[in-house]
A and B are shown apart, each in its own frame.
Chain A
Amino acid sequence: MSDKPKIGLYWCASCGGCEESVVDLAEGILDVIAVVDIVFWPVAMDFKRQDVEAMDDRSILATLINGAVRTSEQEEMVALLRRKSRLVVAYGACAHMGGIPALANQFSRERILEYVYRESPSTVNKDNTRPQTHYRDNGTEAELPVFRNVVRALDQVVDVDYYIPGCAPTPEILANAIRVLLSGELPEKGSVLAPDIALCEQCPRIDSKPQDLSIAAFRRPHWTLMDAGQCFLAQGIPCAGPATRGGCGAQCIQGNMPCTGCFGPTSRVRDHGAKLASVLASSMEAKTEDTIQSALCGIVDPIGTFYRYGLAKSLLRRRVDLRNTTQEVAVP
């Protein structure tokens, strides 16, 4: 093998978008593969688990791991890759904070079991069959990993050196992070490799954001004809910009839709959702109980609005009383 530094990429409870974001380096990927050897990347390369097991410990310079963690197989793989790598980078919102799959922390495994294998309108399962961790049949054995009751971010399972945020990270953020990792001048351990400012500072609509926001009522985008140039908050549409780290180029805003917070918080914030809730609450015009209630009618899903990407890393973490989640969730 060559002397080029080795890089690994792996995915846990992932959608593959982070893999795509690497491919989105486009011509830039040719420069990357000229200076590193990618030694493990299941989406694009045929190296197998046994190849990783055969590597020397700490022989991989950096492994970028994306996806949240919720199975025993994922726990084994991230532990294996941690051993074989000098640096482990939590890549993308799921590894960083749990991501959208972490919304499953609102529900119990039982609830999901009942739906998928019995209640789902298209499922036919008279024998009440369930997938098993060990299925034995006629001298053959098929094994499946164990599912945990909670979705976790990567640093809740292994020691993480750096974070690259985003759902998915942009090519610019990734290219910059690669430059930093290969430079030999590593930032402080635990750094998020993206600008440490709120998105508003980079937003093309900043000029129309009032100094003092005074939102009369929150509105839902599909019932609102949105102005294509005005700050969303000024229009009463919840936007996570003020509470969210910048660096993404404000892509969603340029698509004429509000930010939903995928880059997570800046370093000065302990709980992303709490920060967003506090920003929106302090921007409201309403001051009395009933005017507040009616203004809040536009935020119908607080967990989904405030913790869309970060439930696993929030102070809330997961719903504890699961006794009442065997019925379908109906929000009044």
Chain B
Amino acid sequence: MTESLHDVFDQAHQRANAAYVQGRRRITVDPITRLEGHGKIDIFLNDQGSVDRAYFQVPELRGFEVFSLGRPAEDMPQITSRICGVCPTAHHMAGTKALDSLYQVEPPPAAKKIRELVYNAFMLEDHALHVYILGGPDFIVGPDAPPALRNVVGVIEKVGLEVGRKVIRMRRRLREFISRVAGKVIHPVLGLPGGVAKGISADDLPALRQLAEDAMEFALFTLHVFHDIVLKNADYVNLITSDAFTHQTYYMGLVDDNNCVNFYDGKVRVVRPDGVELTRFGATEYLDHIAEHVEPWTYVKFAYLRQVGWNGFEDGARSGIYSVAPLARLNVADGMATPRAQEAYNEFFTTLGGKPVHHTLANHWARVVEMIYAAERISQLVADPEITSQELRVIPSQKPTVGMGVVEAPRGTLFHHYETDGNGLITRCNLIVATQNNSARMAMSVEKAAKGLIRNGEVSEGLLNRIEMAFRAYDPCHACATHSLPGQMPLLVRIRDLQGQVLRTIER
């Protein structure tokens, strides 16, 4: 076809497409709610009133990997924590470990224990945030409850003020502990290459022991709430195990030497959809295993397994799509490192019919199992005699070149990769951020839920909320997932003077 004919064809095609788009029924959920971050869902119906396509779009980005250039590496734990104020400690810790790697410095044992203690307190309170405030209301108040009640206020009305206060108080105490050691709970200042800035005094121990005990009771209480409100409700159980909310993908998570879940450190383990181990690697090898795919309809990139390859938004062993976060971590591990959590893990898999579990909504339950592990780990670390040691730092002496660090953020595996010049200033920065690892499966979950739930063009507010529940189970963090700024934007630039008059328009 000649070029001018091509243009005519293109224009006609676009006009026809635009007309078709205009004529179709389109349902938009904007913004999506009760998650960290921005997003919208656009659902396109066909003539039969069924769903042809549903887009789960992330419209935000800021550019951390680029505006980190030229920054001192030692500032990165505090700069990258601003990727997310809900999980700042995750970025802070991944960054701090990347600095250890960058400077090839090994922190004193006490410093590592303090980091891990703070980290588990953070995991516990952040998981509690999701259970009671973000995702939980769908179950506690009900997915079809009026929107004005489907939130923390409705939860408090449902469970009662006393229970409400208990949840609030527990989170407050955990967060106050984090502030005490890490300076701030929103954007901590604790991490340095080779150690931590501040220690724990022996005077703090009695209160810490009490906190650990109360945290344990709180985690078990949360499991009890989950049992009562969710597992005893046949409708909820059907929803959790329904096909509309199920995907068979690979799973990824950090495990210790015994293949038990560990949030702070370990090796990355990946299992196939049938549960068999595919691979196991350390932070420094992440580039051999993980790649990112780009789509034109969203700013978030989609992580996938290099080994398997990108084969579209598909389930199954031939698709490189994988999942992270609580369900994935439990699927990947052989067990939990602490006893009560192990009991909860056993109950989880026995009830749901063995490993691996592919039901996305089971993430809510797995999250509670992890709360129990976090609480037990806090108790172990508080009881460790080294926790009050004042041996907090090793001053780095090696020249920095490249460093990589990995942690399990509440919402999934998190990689920080820094390269610097000899003076420790960032020359390159690459981040694979938790929710990004889930972004492909999330997009699939939303579309599958939309296709499964919408029939004959019948759409209700509660039904749209159920479609939102498909992503909410992953506890997404879109500020995290889109730390980077994307491509050839904008397509339209209007230059206005101070009076708002258009001076010039540039289109691409």
Interface residues of A (CB under 8 A from B): 11, 13-21, 23-24, 26-27, 29-30, 33, 38, 42-50, 70-73, 99-101, 103-104, 106-107, 109, 111-113, 115-117, 120-125, 129-148, 167-168, 220-226, 228, 251-257, 260, 300-301, 303-304, 328-331
Contact = CB atoms under 8 A, between A and B. Distances in A.
Contact of B134 (A14, A38, A44): A44
A121 B79 contact: no
Contacts of A136: 14, 17-18, 21
Interface in B81-115: 82-86, 88, 99, 103
20 contacts: A16-B477, A17-B86, A17-B187, A43-B36, A44-B134, A46-B465, A47-B33, A49-B30, A101-B63, A116-B485, A131-B297, A131-B487, A133-B492, A136-B18, A138-B52, A140-B42, A220-B72, A256-B198, A301-B71, A329-B427
By Cβ-Cβ distance, the 10 closest A-B pairs, closest first, are A17-B85, A255-B183, A130-B487, A146-B490, A142-B297, A26-B172, A257-B189, A46-B147, A15-B85, A112-B485
Interface string B333-376: 00000000000000000000000000000000000000000000
A104 B67 contact: yes
A221 B18 CA distance: 58
Nearest to A134: B491
Nearest to A223: B395
Given A111-B66, A222-B192, A256-B198, A18 B85 contact: yes
A291 to B, nearest CB: 20
Interface in B159-181: 161, 164-165, 168-169, 171-172, 175, 179, 181
A123 B301 CA distance: 9
A120 B293 CA distance: 11
Given A18-B85, A46-B465, A255-B197, 9 more contacts: A24-B185, A27-B172, A99-B82, A130-B487, A132-B488, A167-B82, A301-B75, A304-B70, A304-B75
A123 B184 CA distance: 34
A101 B65 CA distance: 11
Nearest to A303: B70
Contacts of A143: 42
A113 B486 contact: yes
Contact of A144 (B57, B133, B147, B156): B57
A48 B42 contact: no
A139 B52 contact: yes
Interface string B268-287: 00000000000000000011
A320 to B, nearest CB: 16
Candidate in A26, A47, A254 with the most chain B CB atoms within 10 angstroms: A26
B299 interface: yes
A33 B487 CA distance: 42
Contacts of A331: 70, 421, 423, 425
B198 A144 contact: no
B471 to A, nearest CB: 14
B295 A131 contact: yes
A197 to B, nearest CB: 20
A301 B72 contact: yes
Interface in B422-454: 423-425, 427-428, 430, 432
Contacts of B18: 136
Contact of B99 (A113, A130, A148, A222): A222
B432 A129 contact: no
Contacts of A252: 183-184, 189
B231 interface: no
B428 A328 contact: yes
A225 B395 contact: yes
B484 A112 contact: yes
A147 B301 contact: no
A117 B487 contact: yes
B312 to A, nearest CB: 14
Nearest to A115: B66
Given A49-B30, A130-B486, A139-B44, A13 B62 contact: yes
A219 B44 CA distance: 58
A252 B77 CA distance: 14
A45 B152 CA distance: 8
Interface of B: 14, 17-18, 20-21, 24, 29-38, 42, 44, 52-53, 55, 57, 59-63, 65-67, 69-72, 74-75, 78-79, 82-86, 88, 99, 103, 129, 133-134, 147-148, 150-153, 156, 161, 164-165, 168-169, 171-172, 175, 179, 181-190, 192-194, 197-198, 286-287, 290-299, 301, 303, 306, 310, 393, 395-396, 417, 421, 423-425, 427-428, 430, 432, 465, 477, 479, 484-493
Contacts of A226: 197
Candidate in B57, B190, B396 with the most chain A CB atoms within 10 angstroms: B57
Contacts of B31: 42, 48-49
A130 B488 contact: yes
Contact of A45 (B20, B147, B168, B491): B147
A254 B183 contact: yes
B151 A46 contact: yes
Contact of A26 (B74, B86, B171): B171
B202 to A, nearest CB: 15
A20 B63 CA distance: 22
Contacts of B293: 124-125
Contact of B292 (A70, A112, A123): A123
Contacts of A124: 291-293, 306, 310
A48 B70 CA distance: 40
B79 A44 contact: no
A31 to B, nearest CB: 12
A251 B164 CA distance: 28
Contacts of B298: 131, 142, 144
Contacts of B489: 109, 130-133, 144, 146-147
Contacts of A14: 85, 479
Contacts of B183: 251-257
B190 A255 contact: yes
Given A15-B83, A20-B186, A146-B489, A43 B33 contact: yes
B491 A133 contact: yes
Contacts of A21: 85, 186
Contacts of A225: 393, 395
A226 B490 CA distance: 47
B169 A27 contact: yes
A15 B99 contact: no
A148 B315 CA distance: 37
A12 to B, nearest CB: 9
Given A15-B83, A120-B430, A328-B427, A45 B171 contact: no
